[in-house]
Structure 1
Amino acid sequence: MQQDKVNLLGLNQKAIEDFFISIGKKKFHARQVFKWIHKKGVIDFDAMTDLGKNLRHKLKDKAQITIPKVVFSKASKDGTHKWLIDVGGSAVETVFIPEEGRGTLCVSSQIGCTLNCSFCSTGKQGFNRNLSAAEVIAQLWIAARTLSKTDGEHDFTVTNIVMMGMGEPLMNFENVVPAMDIMMDDLAYGLSRRKVTLSTSGVVPRIYDLLEQSGVSLAVSLHTPNDMLRNEIVPINKKYNIDELLEACKLYAQKGPHKHITFEYTLMEEVNDNLSDAEELVALLKSREVPAKINLIPFNPYPGTPYKKPSNNRIHRFKEFLQHNGFVTTVRKTRGDDIDAACGQLAGDVMDKTNRKQRYLKKLGDTNAN
């Protein structure tokens, strides 16, 4: 029985070196191929011109470089791009957000999500499976190769990665960490730890593991300073409460690349956007002595949600209170909402878990028909 070929796309530098040793080849050959794949975007062994003929033949026999298919892509009027990517009959979404002086790629880690946060449309679609390391890094590979450098108005170079797409990345730790290794490797995409941010809803044990094994920038989806409310809107809080979460954050801030933690706070009208919520948030972060930057995210409504976006006045009042109390506070601009690419909207054309594949196949058929 023929052994399955190894997909080199998802192997970090150490793993690809180990593979080359296992087939009787040198580490420096592994680094050559690694660079071809990620730095140069070449996936055809025959096009890797500095490899010997015998090595290329060996690689074609033992390995492959498989890039998932882009089912379709959309571009927003504000320059935001979204891709729907085929991952074995299901699909995930990847979003690129151009800003002045930077370009941020929002990367998915799971098909669906296990955590079922009450305000997130992705969580409402159920959970299918974790993405492989190859499927995670493929999102950057695709974006880096398909975006033009500039259109005269928007910068289309990927300078930052946020693991904030579909899924909870720390629930797919074994695949996300190697993919981030590739993102930060100088032979690949060369991003610094400060430019790669992982966002978690609070898988506390894995926060400690992340600090030890990767040390990328950390963002935490807090959304409320109150355990009772957080139990309701972020159910993982029932397992790891706010005290446990902030203890992990405090250590991460001490040893991580930014010396602070970014706390994400989705503002929902009359749920967590009252002045009393802001007061409680300030008291919490000051009492726990966690160096914090706060990113306020106005809720993006989607069909069937009971939550509403606060008025601009309520958003401004919340922000002003936090700033007055010494916290660097930003309000995330809504980007790509005309293509359902805004924060919390990454459920895409892949709806509930029972008909995810059927919807995907229909979309594929419609695309081919056009």
Structure 2
Amino acid sequence: MYNILDFNIDELKTWMKKNNESSFRASQVMDWIYKNNTWKFDNMKNIAKSTRDKLNENFYIGIPELVQVYESKKRDTLKFLYKYRDGNVIETVVMKYDRGNSICVSTQVGCRMGCRFCASTVNGMVRNLTSGEILAQVLAAQKEIDDRISNVVLMGSGEPLDNFENVIKFIEIINSKYSLNIGQRHITLSTCGIVPKIIELADKNLQITLAISLHSPEDEVRLKMMPISNKYSIKSIIDACKYYIDKTDRRVSFEYALVKGVNDSDIFAKKLSNILKGMLCHVNLIPINEVRENDFKKSSKDNIKSFLHILSQSGIETTIRKEMGSDINAACGQLRRSYLESKK
């Protein structure tokens, strides 16, 4: 059986024609799923029973089971633990802002990038999520909060560019009018820096925001935090980002997790300023979420402010990410890891 959420409208129309059904039935099914949150074919009452029987025989609507949900004390962050049909669990975070609801979705079960500050990579990668499984997180979360998601961030468990084809198809579907119609400029893709895939993404000329997990202006220090640095140098990543900017005319965002005594000194801020000066970019400083699997500690408030000041003085637009959900293990992989340990 197929997960119908993996199908775009043209693919479903083709399936309908091959199975002696009118192609407009595809649009009806999409409306039920995306506009009416109806996830059982038998409840799609304007579709003939014979057609519904065919759908039941060939498809399922792959909405994952909600296993756990946590809400922050400030009631601005919700973390969902979802289970797929094969028993694998992933986590999804919804952040409520005045401007709308943002969702942080996972793209893989686990992750193989090995970043030391991230809990999702501790046990490696299990498998990729399909485009429909990524999309299902948004559908399920919208139903849970009874409100529309307006912004999507591919920054949960997994490396999106390591699951390139499924991620691109997810963006295509969620951006479509028949689906959730979320504009590409409201979608952010975060990567640790897989250079060939950044180039490939640039050539697609999408209008999404590219976010790079940089975390150091020095290769040697970055390598201690992110094993991907063995393969791709900071220079190669910056060159790929400049290519992305040239192709898309979109600003690139650089994520910088500040770790006490590792990458948070004024010297690092000045080196980072030199690397990024003149680029169409933005730096997002992140007070790191402490993970028990490593000894990284959050930078002091004074160091964070000083880092921000140096970058800003160099003409680089810089912000400090608002801390949300720290009381509910909202950092990538923490909730999933706690759940798996509880099941041992």
Given that 2:25 and 2:47 are in contact with CA atoms closer than 8 Å, whether structure 1 keeps it comes out as yes
Letter in 1 for 2:210: L
**Which residue pairs with 1:107 in the alignment?**
105
Aligned to 1:218: 210
Measured after TM superposition, the shift of residue 263 of structure 1 is 0.4
Mapped to 1, the partners of 2:17 and 2:182 lie a distance apart of 27
Q: Does 1:331 align with 2:298?
A: no
CA 1:22 to 1:207, structure 2 compared with 1: closer, same or farther past 3 Å?
farther
Please give the per-residue CA displacement for 1:142-193, whole angstroms capped at 9, x wherever unaligned: 01111034xxxxxxx3110000000101111122221222211111111111
Specify the SS of the correspondent of 2:149.
coil
The whole-number CA distance in structure 2 between the counterparts of 1:323 and 1:39 is 43
In the TM superposition, what whole-angstrom CA distance separates every residue of 1:335-357 from its partner, at most 9, and x where no partner exists? 00111014xx4231435xxx94x
The amino acid that maps onto 2:335 is G
Which of 347, 355, 361 aligns to 2:334? It is 347
Instruction: Tell me which residue corresponds to 2:27.
Output: 31
Is 1:184 paired with 2:175?
yes
Does structure 1 retain, via aligned residues, the 8 Å contact 2:110–2:333? Answer: no
Partner Cα separation in structure 2 for residue 245 and residue 15 of structure 1: 35
Q: Is the 8 A contact 1:246 1:290 kept in 2?
A: no
Matches within 5 A, 1:1-370: 5-78=1-74, 79-87=76-84, 88-149=86-147, 157-213=148-204, 215=206, 216-256=208-248, 259-286=250-277, 289-342=278-331, 345-350=332-337, 356=340, 359=341, 361=343
User: Does 204-213 or 96-105 show the bigger shift?
Assistant: 204-213
- Checking the alignment, whether the CA contact within 8 Å between 2:209 and 2:250 is kept in structure 1 is no
Q: CA deviation at 1:214?
A: 6.7
Counterpart code for 1:180: I
Unaligned runs of 5+ in 2: none
CA distance in 1, matches of 2:161, 2:43: 36
CA gap of 1:62–1:304, structure 2 versus 1, over 3 A, is closer
Write out per-residue CA displacement over residues 67-125 of structure 1, whole angstroms, 9 at most, x where no aligned residue. Answer: 11111111111221011111222211100011121211000011111000122122223
Residue pair 1:293, 1:328 contacting (<8 A) in 2 also: yes
Q: In 2, are the aligned partners of 1:125 and 1:347 still within 8 Å (CA)? A: no
Unaligned runs of 5+ in 1: 150-156, 363-370
CA RMSD of aligned residues (A): 1.9
Determine helix, strand or coil for the equivalent of 2:334.
Answer: coil
- Match of 1:233, as an amino acid? M
Q: Match of 1:84, as an amino acid?
A: L
Amino acid at match of 1:219: A
Q: Which amino acid aligns with 1:46?
A: D
Q: Kindly provide the amino acid, as one letter, of the partner of residue 83 in structure 1.
A: F
SS at match of 1:341: coil
SS of 2:89's equivalent? strand
**Secondary structure of 1:125's partner?**
coil
Question: Matches of 2:162 and 2:9 in 1, distance apart?
Answer: 23
Residue 108 of structure 2 contacts residue 159 of structure 2 at CA under 8 Å; is this kept in 1? yes
Q: Which moved more, 1:47-56 or 1:83-92?
A: 47-56
